Amino acid sequence: MTNLNDLSEQGIKQNLLERYKNFDIKIFDTLSSTNDFAKDLINSNKFQNGTTIVANTQTKGRGRFARNFYSPANTGIYFSSILKISLPIQDVSLITLISAIAVCRSITKLTNLNPQIKWINDIYLNNKKICGILVENICDFNNIKSTAIVSGIGINISTENFPKDIQDKAGSIMCNNLSRNKLIAEILNIFFDLSEDIYSKKIIEEYKSLSLVLNKEISYKKDNKTYTATAIDINDSGNLVVKDSNNNISVLDCCEISIKAISNQ
């Protein structure tokens, strides 16, 4: 199965809500990283709110912890969108939450499938990772607030052949006739709508309803040690709250977790 529809600025914009049709959409056949390109635009002040960089393939796509993100041509979407917003650094993780919600809502709307979120930034379908999200911020001179935030999203739509090191972990949506242009537009519509009120309690509630980890046993690494606990909540800052076998409560902010029977990519 392959996804043959061509990526195009017109194809994306015709599916954007009227209030977002003026977004600057840049399409490339190949980039090293859409996030890096977006950050270069921010640093050179050549961007606006909603500037979005789309690549048909990435040669150096990356996720959290500097992991590679496999980005083959024609079978996925890889894009980064710039949100011009001033946020306290500790609240930037909320942009990851709205990105994940936007991806899940969009996939469900266009395919009737029901993806879930593996805290904090991975989207899973049928116990396979189909999407990774990398949010990066550009700070002010005092390193206190963001001046702009990049939300990078990579989704496997019809990718079938993965590198050996991730072939047991990675999956694809595998839905016939899913338009890449339409999926990108739908994600942008929802993402920028949600960004209007990132502190809304409804965001955390929806994120929790989509969670793959709540009430499950997980393991996590901290200070070079591995711990086991049960995920019991996600707090208003998007942190994962866990409880160990001795009923001790811990709050995780950005560490890597594993769920029983589900591996990390």
Which of these ranges, 58-62, 121-125, 158-162, has the smallest mean pLDDT?
A: 58-62
| pLDDT of 117 strictly over 70 | yes
Strand partners, 6: none
CB 240 within 8 A of CB 234: yes
Per-residue model confidence (pLDDT) at position 3:
42
| pLDDT of 143 strictly over 80 | no
Write the pLDDT tens digit of every residue in 158-198: 999 999 999 999 999 999 889 999 999 999 999 999 999 99
146 token code pair: 């963001």
Distance CA 62, CA 38 (A): 14
CB 206 within 8 A of CB 101: yes
Q: Across all residues in the chain, what is the average pLDDT?
A: 92
Please state at what angle helix 93-111 crosses helix 180-194, rounded to 10 degrees.
140
33 token code pair: 């990283």
pLDDT tier at 66 (50, 70, 90 boundaries)?
low
Domains belonging to the chain, first-starting first, are: 9-209 (3.30.930.10), 217-259 (2.30.30.100)
Distance CA 159, CA 33 (A): 19
Per-residue model confidence (pLDDT) at position 63:
73
Give the pairing of strands 240-243 and 249-252.
antiparallel
Which of these ranges, 22-36, 54-68, 87-101, has the smallest mean pLDDT?
A: 54-68
Q: Is the pTM of this model over 0.85?
A: yes
